[in-house]
Homo-oligomer: A and B are copies of this chain.
């Protein structure tokens, strides 16, 4: 119970910080402002995090953590490559639409992250792209896919989805669900052997 309460409080702080970093930028957001957002004190924040920079890393790593977990689960599932690809694309599109603030903040605030933290997020992104290119390779070797350069194709596909952080607006005509489906269909057409 105690651990759950700590996790809950940390999560509230991270979510408040994320909103302020997204709206005003990291430099313009003080720990006092995060505390005010939660109607609490700076001391409360510092009892859960060592520094504003630690909170920034927790915010920035969320998207890559969720995406890689999901990709690893799918790659262990041993479905046929077309099905794995479909699940991976839909899942990744959902992660990015849900975590668009995390993705945006990582891209904008890289300069404010510690080198070890940037390296960790980039390691996860590369691991995600490797799982994706592995699925393309497998589909290729089974004659299901036809892809000239699976590594470049994997990066182009993940970039297409990553970049939706900048233009997808929840609550408009295009739902996150419809975006995930359109994307998955386009990717199947890109790689399917004809």
Contact = CB atoms under 8 A, between A and B. Distances in A.
A153 B181 CA distance: 11
Given A156-B160, A159-B166, A160-B160, A182 B108 contact: no
A156 B108 contact: no
Range class of the A interface residue count: 20 to 34
Contacts of A178: 149, 152
Contacts of A185: 148
Contact of A153 (B149, B157, B162, B186): B186
A157 B72 CA distance: 26
B186 A190 contact: yes
Given A179-B152, A190-B186, A190-B189, A157 B160 contact: yes
Interface string A16-32: 00000000110110000
What secondary structure prevails in chain A residues at the interface with B? Answer: helix
A52 interface: no
Number of copies: 2
Nearest to A153: B186
A111 interface: yes
A6 B194 CA distance: 55
A152 to B, nearest CB: 5
B153 A182 contact: yes
B149 A182 contact: yes
Interface in A139-170: 148-149, 152-153, 155-157, 159-160, 162-164, 166-167
Given A152-B174, A186-B190, 8 more contacts: A108-B110, A108-B111, A156-B164, A156-B186, A157-B160, A159-B162, A162-B163, A189-B190
